[in-house]
Structures are given as C-alpha cells and as structure tokens.
Amino acid sequence: MGRLDKVLSAYELPQNGKKLIKDFLLTLHQKYEFKSSTMKGDTGQIILLGGLEEDGSYFCNRYTYLFIECLKEIRLPDPKILLRVSKNIPEDLLFAAIDCISTGIGSPLISNDDIIIPLLQEFGYDKCDAYNYGVSACWEPLSIGNSLEQNNLAHLEYGKCANEMITDPEFISCKSYEDVLKLYYKKLHDDVEKKKTSVDEIKWERDPLMSLLMGLDIDISEGGAKYNNYGLLTVGISAAVNTLINIKHFVFETGEYSLEEIRDIIDHNYREGVSPFDRNNNGFGTDSLEAIDLTNQIIKTTEIELKNYRNRFGGKIKFGLSSPAYITVSKNIGPTLDGRRGNQPFSTHISRDKGEPITEIMNFESKLIFSGISANANVIDVIVQQNLIENNKNKFNKLILGGIQAGIFQIQFNVLSYKQLLDAKQHPEKYSNLIVRVWGFSAYFNDLPEEYKNNLIKRAKERERDN
C-alpha cells in the first residue's frame, strides 16, 4: 500500500478521519482468505508508516498515529503495518506502536531506517529512493514504484549445508576445526552457485499495466525498470553456527567426541535420549563473541559469493537472514549438530527461545555486520508474554528505543503464552479471534496448518520454561 501517511499528508485530516481509516482497514480485510496462494492470511497487504528524511529529521503526522490507533482498536491480522523508525522517532509514537503490539496482532513490525537506508545506498539505490524505501512481501526493502525487485526467489540453505558437511566422506578426514570450516564453506559455495543458476533460468511474463504505471518505455519483464535486482532469503543460520561451534568444542577442544561419532549421531538422527548439543549456551543469539564472529564470517562469505553476480538485466542480488521457509524447507533436511532432529523446523529468522532476555538477542543482532548485499531483511523474531509488555510499557519502550540506537535491523513480536496456545489448539471454538505472527504476516491461530501451530507452541514453551 506504500507510505500512506506521507501520501495523505497532502490532505487535511477530516473530522471523521478516524472512522474513514477504520472503514478503509475493514474494507481491505474483507475476503482476506482468498488473497493468498500460500497460506490464509498472507495477503501481502502492508501499510508503511513514518520514516527518516534526507535532512535527518523524522517524518510522521497525525495519520501515522491514527493508522496505528485504528488497527489496535479493530484488532485484525490484516492489513499489516510496518513502522519505519529511527533514533529520532518521537517517544510517544514508539509508545503507541508498543501499545498496539501488546494486543497480540503482530503489528507494527519495526524497521530501523538508521541502519537500512545507508545499506540501500551502498547497494546502489539513489539517495532519494533509499530514503523513500518500501518493502516487498513482508520485510524486504526495495525502491517504491520503479523496481522489478523480486526479493523472495530462492533460499540459501545454511542448515542443509551443515548436514551435508557432516555426511560428506571428507568430514571424518578433517584434522582440525579449520578443515571442518573449509568443508562447510565448500558446501555453501555449491549451494550459492546452484541458486544463482536457478534464478538465471527465470523468465518473466510481460506486464503492460505495471510498466505503464511505472512510466516505463520498456516492459518491466524486459529490464525496463530503474532497478532490476533479485533477492534471496536464507534458512538455518542458527543451525549452521551452532553445529560448527559444537564440533569445535566437543571434538577439537574437549575431545568428548570424535568426528566418526559425530557422523554416527547424525546418520542415526540422534537415536534416543537427551543430546548435549541442544544446549548451545554460547551459541547463536547469545552474547558469545565466538557465535557473533562466526555468524559475521558466514555473512561475509556469502556476500563475497554474491558480490559479482549480475542477472540478465544487469541487476544484483541481495540476501537476508529471514525467510518464511523455516518449516517447509526443513522437511527434506537431515539432522544438524545443534540438537535439531531430521525434518524438524529451523529457528525462525533471527531468534532464540531458550529463555534469554530479549536484550540478548537484540544485542546479538546489533553486532552483526551487514552490507548492502546482505540487506534483504534481517528480522529479530521475539515471543513475549502479554502481561510482560502491559505491566512494563515504559520499560519496554526504552528497551526498543535502546535496540534502535544500538543498531538492530528489524524486529517483530509474537505476544502470546504457551498455556493459551495449548488451550487454543485443544479448544479452537474458544479462540476464534486469537492472532499470531507467522513469518512476516499475522493470521488467526485457528487458520494455521497443524505444523505451524505446533511450532509456535514449542517455541512458546521453550521461551517460558527457563524464565
């Protein structure tokens, strides 16, 4: 839907403005179940609000506040709202956003202009386009109104590479952790090359209407847009980082396991019993410098692999650490040495559900080093109990502002509890209006496939278990 508060800034707010906005949102929500070919609720209808201006000021107006206020009051999962934020955001606007989030509708998603805009310029967007960015699908930044920008074309499979590394015949011949790391990067290189080939084979249908609306002389399918870039998403970064850290610790530091024993564990899908590898106390998402450094190393390696790519229109590729495929892709991937059994879901985006404080995952992401190439959505996904926000809104406001100032990229919240979700699964008739955040959209819990319900229940249980 674009930046509607900025579009509407040319018009004086009428006396019945709030009612008009509510009616507009309700109209957009009608028949939402027919608007997605993927999953009920994933309509792609998103409204952008707020944003940093070229002079360093923060843009917002009465419409910005009204859209958030109206969505909070009608409590619908769709359309979704993305709030562009900055360290210069008015405190009361951020408070209004947190107040809306506390209802559990999953909106607004927070997107940090202080980090994203410079990276978009580095990637190659003109300054005015970078400052006026929108998002495609759920969270992927793009230039509005002049882009081909297909940002969800394929997935780089970090977790799959970790499994393939261990099952490769070369694995048990590795003499050092550095040898294991080289083998992992060989698998990652092969996966990147495969995905480059797959996107090169894509042919686009002609789209005269979109081309006309963009003012293009050449059809958008033939490279007529100002920006003709592609975007990839990634799956399983947490599994890859924790697998490598566990191999380094349990094999090369403590000697508790040999590489042959690691291979046997993976070949037999852990057999039965509790695994020592699923603790990951110093793993992905924690304050561990080792985990932060390794994650940055994987990001940098991927950037180098994609740096010189150009599609047939001359466009580049950017990637990010978020993806809707953490369940679908995982079904065909064997176990990884982070405690994850074969075919089980990967972690959701940039997340950790072991009971750590929210500040830790925010601190972790703020230390990740992204470039323009790796700026295709990097969403922290947090589960939090409703009473934690409602009873501490001022503290929560300061928490999010602190994360923005520290340099988080994007963050979204699932406000729910384990007991509530478990009861909702057993008694769906009691929870017809229960809304949850799925990957980058919100939906009614009762509409979700069982595997998504189970994944949310498992995450909520793990999150609350150690609190």
Buried b (16+ CB within 10 A) or exposed e, 127-157: eebbbbbbbbbbbbbbbeebbbbbbbebbbb
pLDDT-wise least confident of 35-49, 57-71, 210-224, 328-342: 35-49
The answer to whether the pTM exceeds 0.85 is: yes
**Residue 143 phi, psi dihedral angles, 5° rounding:** -90, 130
CB under 8 A, 24+ apart: contacts of 208-212 = none
User: Which residue in 263, 252, 239 sits closest to 178, CA to CA?
Assistant: 252
Q: Average pLDDT over the chain, rounded to whole? A: 94
**Residue 436 phi, psi dihedral angles, 5° rounding:** -135, 160
Cβ atoms of 139 and 219 within 8 Å: the answer is no
So what's the pLDDT on residue 409?
97
Question: Which whole number is the average pLDDT over 426-443?
Answer: 94
Tokens of 13: 């707010």
pLDDT tens digits for 263-309? 999 999 998 766 789 888 899 999 999 999 999 999 999 999 999 99
Distance CA 51, CA 251 (A): 48
Distance CA 15, CA 60 (A): 19
Cα dihedral sign, 158-243-296-133: positive
So what's the pLDDT on residue 413?
94
Q: Does residue 467 have a pLDDT over 60? A: no
So what's the pLDDT on residue 175?
97
Question: Which whole number is the average pLDDT over 195-215?
Answer: 93
Share of the chain above pLDDT 70, in %: 99
**9: region left, alpha or beta (phi > 0 left; psi from -120 to 50 alpha):** alpha
Q: Does residue 239 have a pLDDT over 60? A: yes
So what's the pLDDT on residue 442?
93
So what's the pLDDT on residue 466?
54
**Residue 155 phi, psi dihedral angles, 5° rounding:** -120, 130
Cβ atoms of 412 and 437 within 8 Å: the answer is yes
Distance CA 381, CA 286 (A): 14
pLDDT tens digits for 159-175? 999 999 999 999 999 99
- Domain locations along the chain: 1-142+382-467, 145-347
Q: Does residue 404 have a pLDDT over 90? A: yes
Q: Confidence band (pLDDT; 50, 70, 90) for 32?
A: confident
What's the distance, CA 160 to chain centroid?
19
So what's the pLDDT on residue 39?
84
So what's the pLDDT on residue 423?
96
User: Which residue in 334, 335, 329 sits closest to 232, CA to CA?
Assistant: 329
So what's the pLDDT on residue 376?
96
Q: Does residue 377 have a pLDDT over 70? A: yes
